[in-house]
Chain A
């Protein structure tokens, strides 16, 4: 049993466990904390795939920026009493939802088992394409137009978020 197998198992089990904790926790703050743990586990998995820059961005953008936003909204809503946070679970919805999703997983796994990809080793240049230098070079040459479009998209999202979160227009202020 070598180090790669151990690392993959630890991160994979951690990722699945924290994902399940995220969707099953009654308290939204506990869900958010499990999701942060999940993002760190995914960053570890990216490192096992030699994608160092993606792993760093995963921690900075997801665990840093997006989750802070989510936690702030949970705080801002200030739902008050714990009973209000607790959800009335519906058995039929849980059963049907899990059944449908399980079917979906079964289809994907059967497809993979029926025709395995047969790739057992990382590509020779896997280490080279994961570096900040390679990513930056690609991002500012071949992918320059999508990169600039994304900045426009973020600007639109920024304006949209401000308009939506503003108190109603009539009230002024």
Chain B
């Protein structure tokens, strides 16, 4: 069954989702929500990878998606551990209240 949705539509949708993630990263202060916005951006890229893979009939795109998912899982583990450590030290998860590295 061949779909009648052009590739461009998937790419524009992916661009929208990526930009939503960027807005989240720039405008939010809560480190956990910034982290979730980064996941949004990773998933937007995954969508365009799968779209390219399906339209060009090349499996490489889907392989990339698996590796991106693995890296995202690693990033989730380390990122959330950093948020935990940060909260223990500063009693806050707001990124603008963390300025130890600023001088």
Q: Is the CB of B57 within 8 A of A165?
A: no
Interface residues of A in 81-100 (CB under 8 A from B): 85, 87-90, 93-94, 96-98, 100
Given contacts A97-B26, A130-B54, A165-B85, contact A117 B36 (CB under 8 A): no
* Chain A, interface residues (CB within 8 Å), range: 35 or more
Contact partners of A20 in chain B: CB under 8 A? 20
Report whether B28 and A49 are in contact in the complex, using a CB–CB cutoff of 8 Å.
no
B100 at interface, CB cutoff 8 A: no
Chain B binding surface SS class: helix
Does A16 have its Cβ within 8 Å of any Cβ on chain B? Answer: yes
With beta carbons under 8 angstroms apart, the residue of B32, B37, B47, B82 that contacts A23 is: B37
User: What 1/0 mask marks residues of chain A from 25 to 56 whose CB sits below 8 Å from any chain B CB?
Assistant: 00010011001001100100110111101100
Q: State which of A4, A57, A66, A69 has its C-beta within 8 Å of the C-beta of B66.
A: A57
Check B56–A138 contact: CB distance below 8 A.
no
Q: Give, as a whole number of angstroms, the nearest-CB distance from A1 to chain B.
A: 10
Q: Is A102 an interface residue (CB 8 A)?
A: yes
| Residues in A whose Cβ lies below 8 Å from that of B62 | 51, 53-54, 129-130, 135
Rounded to whole angstroms, the CA-CA distance of A162 and B81 in the bound complex is 8
B84 at the interface (CB under 8 A from A): yes
Contact between A66 and B72 (Cβ–Cβ < 8 Å)?
A: yes
Q: Does A73 contact B (CB under 8 A)?
A: yes
Known: A57-B69, A124-B57. 20 other contacts (CB 8 A): A4-B3, A12-B9, A42-B43, A45-B10, A45-B13, A48-B3, A51-B54, A62-B69, A66-B73, A73-B83, A87-B94, A88-B29, A97-B22, A105-B16, A129-B58, A135-B59, A153-B70, A157-B75, A162-B81, A164-B82
Q: What 6 A-B pairs are tightest by C-beta distance, nearest first?
A: A123-B57, A97-B26, A157-B74, A23-B24, A164-B81, A108-B15
